[in-house]
Amino acid sequence: MAESASVLDVTAREALAELLMSVADDEFIIGFWDSEWTGIAPMLEEDVATSSIAQDEIGHARALYELLAELTDDDADRIAFGRDAADFRHAALMNHARGDWALSVARRYLYETADAVRLTALARSSHQPLALLAGKMRREETYHQLHADAWLRRLSEGGAEGRGRLTTALERLWPDAQDIFAPLVGEEALVREGLLRESMQAMHAAWQAQVRPILEPICGELPSATPSRDGRLRRTDDFAWLHGEFTSVAGSEEAATW
């Protein structure tokens, strides 16, 4: 059992860094995509809610980047804004552009449910700072998930158009959503040291068992799907565009402090 990162061997440290970066990048990128709704969400109140949730996700990413920076003697802002697009480790689910409202709702639902499974495991991590942070994040994510649930139900019960768009979005995102549980480099070391209490494979199975009974009545049977090896390495033009957007301010004045 590793109480603090200093007693970890190199393999485990590197694996922990990989884990922190993958979770942080997921939160960071979904936060940025959802912030694209600011000003154009379906109604004013929803605009404020969506923007606020997007901001929460970026806040979670920041806290995780700070843990990572401490571990690797780096700087959180540099990790967030100073990396090339190829160095990001978000799951393929976050490669899709904002799309229509149904796509954003479908993605948030898939992500929040998977994230809840992951946070439960992280809250029991032997790396105390991560366990504490995951516990705090979980309190806020509970509300995010309620919000995503509410919208999933609204769209699925609210008439043919909403249901149709939601079904299209769920079918499109389903394969890439699996990659939230893509195997991590050094995962064996993570599980061995108790840094990660459950394997990605086990979490993936738990998540599927939870969401299939909710989603299949809406969109019909979903194909069998498993996380892919390169699930956190694939990049799209959509992501390249977003990366250009979120690095443009930091890139305009290097070494500026905010």
Partner 1 sequence: MTERVWEVFRQEDEGDPMIHAGNVNAPDEELAMHYAREFYGRRGESHRLWIVAREAITELDDPDLLKPPFDRSHKKPGGYIIKHKLEAAKQRAASEAGE
- Per CB under 8 A, residues contacting partner 1 are 42-46, 48-49, 52, 143, 146-147, 150, 154
| Two tokens, residue 202 | 């086990």
89, HSE (Cβ side, Cα atoms, 13 Å) = 19
Residue 19 beta carbon to partner 1: minimum distance, rounded to whole angstroms: 29
- CA-CA distance, 239 to 219, in Å (whole number)? 27
Burial of 108 (0-12, 13-18, 19+ CB in 10 A): buried
DSSP 43-101: SHHHHHHHHHHHHHHHHHHHHHHHHHHHHHT--HHHHHHSS-GGG----GGGGS---SH
Residue 38 beta carbon to partner 1: minimum distance, rounded to whole angstroms: 13
**CB-wise, 157 or 216, nearer to partner 1?**
157
**CB-wise, 60 or 147, nearer to partner 1?**
147
Residue 45 beta carbon to partner 1: minimum distance, rounded to whole angstroms: 4
Residue 151 beta carbon to partner 1: minimum distance, rounded to whole angstroms: 8
**CB-wise, 147 or 204, nearer to partner 1?**
147
**CB-wise, 43 or 255, nearer to partner 1?**
43
Burial of 218 (0-12, 13-18, 19+ CB in 10 A): middle
129 secondary structure, DSSP code:
H
- The answer to whether 124 touches 131, Cβ cutoff 8 Å, is yes
**CB-wise, 91 or 152, nearer to partner 1?**
152
Residue 166 beta carbon to partner 1: minimum distance, rounded to whole angstroms: 15
